[in-house]
Amino acid sequence: MLWRLRPFVPDDLNGWRVLDVGCNAGFYGFEPARRGASVLGIDVDAHCLDQARWAAGQLGLHSKVEFRQMEVCVLARDSASFDMVGLRGVFYHLRYPMLALDLLAERTRRRLMFQTLTMPGDSVYGPVDNCPIEDRTPLLESGWARMAFIEHRLAEDPTNRWRPTTPGGGDASSERPAHRGAPRP
Ligand SMILES: C[S@@+](CC[C@H](N)C(=O)[O-])C[C@H]1O[C@@H](n2cnc3c(N)ncnc32)[C@H](O)[C@@H]1O
């Protein structure tokens, strides 16, 4: 994954504020910190955060990274914004995934890095500007953008709630956040 991110991350991140959502043991926050960024990693799992703090100390980065136990949607109570935001391996765990994406897009000044497990297949239906209510058959076509809801467990994990299709069938990294909340443009 790291080599795929490289073209999107400047070598010098001095002055950048970085948010890593679902930071786990801190891995994706350490390289931005080495490049000069001030990093906030949030996660719901206290044990992971203990590991992240330990790793930051081992790497001599404790003054550049902060780890907080926090659910992503709690960001709604805070107007803080960030130059770069990472949401990797988290989207499909969230109870309100689009709310989280809207919140993060609103708080991203420069780059939003989004990665998720997806449904199998990479066909894309469209583009479609509109769909009449009388004929919704396109929604059943292969490639129509979908989110699969997982009612109980996937891979034995009850926090796996969703799997989206892959929009555009390609890499989800982009220079600027493409997702915007309602109203649609
Ligand atoms: C599959 S791991 C991904 C870790 C890391 N981002 C990566 O890409 O390697 C998912 C992480 O998201 C955290 N997480 C799950 N739901 C969350 C939520 N609602 N808010 C914040 N973190 C969450 C989990 O505790 C876990 O550490």
Q: Is residue 156 predicted with pLDDT exceeding 50?
A: yes
Burial class (CB in 10 A: 0-12, 13-18, 19+), 28: buried
Query: Mind listing the pLDDT tens digit for each residue in 23-53?
Result: 999 999 999 999 999 999 999 999 999 999 9
Q: Is residue 178 predicted with pLDDT exceeding 70?
A: no
Range of the domain at 84: 2-169
Q: Which helix (H) or strand (E) holds 51?
A: helix 46-58
Query: Mind listing the pLDDT tens digit for each residue in 132-149?
Result: 999 999 999 988 989 999
Q: Is residue 56 predicted with pLDDT exceeding 90?
A: yes
Under the banding of pLDDT at 50, 70 and 90, the label for residue 1 is: low
Residue nearest to atom 24 of ligand 1 (CA): 22
**88 C-beta closer than 6 A to ligand 1:** yes
Please report whether residue 116 resides in a domain: yes
Report yes or no: 47 and 55 within 8 Å, Cβ to Cβ. no
Please report whether residue 174 resides in a domain: no
Q: Is residue 96 predicted with pLDDT exceeding 60?
A: yes
Helical segments of 16-127, H only:
27-34, 46-58, 97-106
**Across 66-89, average pLDDT:** 96
Please report whether residue 40 resides in a domain: yes
As for how many domains the chain has, the answer is 1
Please report whether residue 161 resides in a domain: yes
Residue 183, preceding bond cis, omega within 30 degrees?
A: yes
Residue corresponding to tokens 């989280």: 100
Please report whether residue 184 resides in a domain: no
Residue nearest to atom 2 of ligand 1 (CA): 89
* Confidence (pLDDT) at 8: 86
Q: Give residue 181 CA to ligand 1 midpoint distance, Å.
A: 22
77: domain CATH number? 3.40.50.150
Percent of the chain with pLDDT over 90: 74
Please report whether residue 178 resides in a domain: no
Q: Give residue 139 CA to ligand 1 midpoint distance, Å.
A: 31
